[in-house]
Structure 1
Amino acid sequence: MKKLIAITCLATTIMASGSAMADSIKGKVGVTGRLGFLIPSDNETDIRNNRTDAGFIGGGGVIYGIDDHFAAELDITRAMFGSDTGDFGVTNYSLGGQYRFALPNPQFVPYAGLGLDILVSDYDPDNGTKRDVDTTVGFHVSGGVDYFILKQVALTGEAKFVVAPDTSITSNGSHRGDFDPTSFSSTVGIRYFFN
């Protein structure tokens, strides 16, 4: 019973302090760390269909508040996932913007975003041969929420859909298949604002 009372008091204190301290993002600079899962598109390797598995994604970035509603964001994430024939990895350099909605409770800030993505991919087949995957450019749409637990600290959750054209998988200059970097990811993390 004592543990339940202590946890309830701690949760109430965090919620009360967060609601009293959250304010505008204008002029703020922050860093974000995130982790989650990614659902990739299926691909074609060695001229056959290659089903992919869900994988893990993690990374971080920087956010800057342009005004009360708009923010610019630079994120770098790395996703790893398996397939029928080997393992894929995608490093996403993402530059985007957010529109942050104002709600009566300033502790809870939903947002919608979009932006440009540079996708650097790699493929390691199970048979040990070397494969190269071309880098490609795509775009993303995202939606999420920041929940401020303190004036400078927010818990964040985000869903992101990345769309990009297929890119070639090659071996010694010979075309061996196509890689589709289109994916859906869902992450949770924390943001820390310096000012």
Structure 2
Amino acid sequence: MHSLVPTRRAREVGAPTQTDPSEANPSLFLHSQTPWVRRFRKLGARTRIALAAAGAFLVPEAPAAEAGRDEPNDVRPYLHWRVGEFSPYWDVLDLRGISLGVEFNERWGAELALDAWQLQLIQSRVLGEQQIITLMPQVKFAIPTWNERIAPYAVAGVGGAWVQFNDRAAGGIGRRIDADGISIAGTAGLGLDLFLARNIALNLEGKYVWADSIGIRIDGVGRDWDPSSFLATIGVRVYLDRHSTDALIAQANLLTPVRFYFGTQGGTTFLTDSEWVSGAEIEPKLNAIGDIFNLQYTVSLGADLGEHFGLELALAHTEYTLRTATMGSIGEYSSYSVMPLLRLRFPRAEGRWVPYVMAGAGFCYSEFNDTKPIATALDIDAEGMTPAFSVGGGVDYFLARNLSLNAEGRWRYSWDHKIRTDDGISGKGDHSELQFTIGFRAYLWESR
């Protein structure tokens, strides 16, 4: 066996000399000269590194802890949030869902799934909308693959469905409609988790909900109505288990990275100034909690800049009822806000708790929609962009280095909202509201 010529460093420190592996194993020498190996060696260094990284991602024998659970039998609680904005293509409207579940091992789990959506009630014409809410205990069976980075799964369960008629349309004017009910429901479906980190997964899910028909009455005539629906959603699954080996970002050697995150929150708004102009005002919708707390949904993208500072772009949506003094409720007024925010953070308890304050200025896009039957003949112009600003604060609780639960409160003020109707209402006004939300921030990558 011949020795290769040792390097200068090997001579100086007495490192062991290297041997030529091709002489120790002739078959290795022959294999190293195959055409595909020669072509690989001709590639640039960056290309070879990229190919090697891609290969590492696909190797199934890599340790499972890199992408999924630490041990195959780890019990892992999770929260699954999902939306189905593309579902109107098969007549499902305003689909939202959330599940609280637990995985008992790498394959079996159970969850309690809450889903809400709307269907149109039709008899020759659209009479209105039916709100369906299901609460479903479900069993989940997964088959992790590709080093647990991808996990196809199936779900099935049995629960209940609650149906309520709302948002009467023009076709329902003057009709006597009794379409509320409760029924037994079941579900089965398939999904896919794509793990962005060990405790965060992007989720796609499709399931069919079977529900017993409910008895409804239209103008005194009884009939059956079937609320069964196909639900397709995209969402995020976040695991709530704590990993003691995951260093928190506020520890002394981790204060400098720029950390980028995605967040989502849900909650309520409370109007602090509802009067628009003389004769017109906005008020909470029928589905408001306690008739005063309107529902709101927020998605955010942001970055923590070291220990104390951060930037965030928050996109929020809420919807109110527009009421006039002469007609009452005439439709809905949707508000979409885009708000760049500066966050000032104060880590506590080695970064486990992070209180913060925030402020920013942006704009709102608002529009009138879903005209009520009483106002179908009325010309209503209430659409446009308006300036806005927001101030508030909150607290993050870090379950792991890359995942925090948060509670937040903000006050938002917007002005220059225009409205004009052909029955004499015209002018500009301002709106303000308190916003209370809970949600999570998922930190996806960082840069030093």
TM-score by length of 1: 0.81
Match of 2:299 in 1: 60
Higher relative contact order (CA 8 A, sep 6+): 1
Aligned pair in 2 of structure 1 residues 51, 28: CA closer, same or farther (>3 Å)? closer
More strand by share: 1
Aligned pair in 2 of structure 1 residues 57, 19: CA closer, same or farther (>3 Å)? farther
User: CA contact under 8 A between 1:55 and 1:82: conserved in structure 2?
Assistant: no
Match of 2:313 in 1: 74
Aligned to 2:243, the other structure's residue is in SS state: helix
Letter in 1 for 2:258: G
Q: Quote the RMSD (CA, aligned, Å).
A: 2.7
Per the TM alignment, residue 137 of structure 1 is displaced from its structure 2 partner at its CA by 0.8
User: CA contact under 8 A between 2:302 and 2:313: conserved in structure 1?
Assistant: yes
Per the TM alignment, residue 157 of structure 1 is displaced from its structure 2 partner at its CA by 1.0
Match of 1:92 in 2: 337
Match of 1:194 in 2: 444
Aligned to 1:194, the other structure's residue is in SS state: strand
Gaps of 5+ in 1: 1-6
Specify which of 354, 376, 396 is matched with residue 109 of structure 1: 354
Specify which of 349, 363, 382 is matched with residue 118 of structure 1: 363
Match of 1:32 in 2: 263
Per the TM alignment, residue 123 of structure 1 is displaced from its structure 2 partner at its CA by 2.4
TM superposition outliers: structure 1 runs of 4+ over 6 Å? none
Deviates more, 1:159-168 or 1:69-78: 159-168
User: CA contact under 8 A between 1:42 and 1:49: conserved in structure 2?
Assistant: no
Match of 1:143 in 2: 393
Counting aligned pairs with the same residue, the percent is 17
Give me the whole-angstrom Cα distance separating, in 2, the residues matched to 1:179 and 1:20.
50
Letter in 1 for 2:439: G
Aligned to 1:22, the other structure's residue is in SS state: coil
Q: Which has the larger radius of gyration?
A: 2
Deviations 1:4-40 (A, max 9, x none): xxx9xx9xxx676379632137410000011111113
**Equivalent residue pairs, number:** 183
TM-score by length of 2: 0.37
Gaps of 5+ in 2: 1-76, 78-101, 103-239, 285-292, 324-328
User: CA contact under 8 A between 1:117 and 1:137: conserved in structure 2?
Assistant: yes
User: CA contact under 8 A between 1:18 and 1:107: conserved in structure 2?
Assistant: no
Specify which of 248, 256, 271 is matched with residue 22 of structure 1: 248
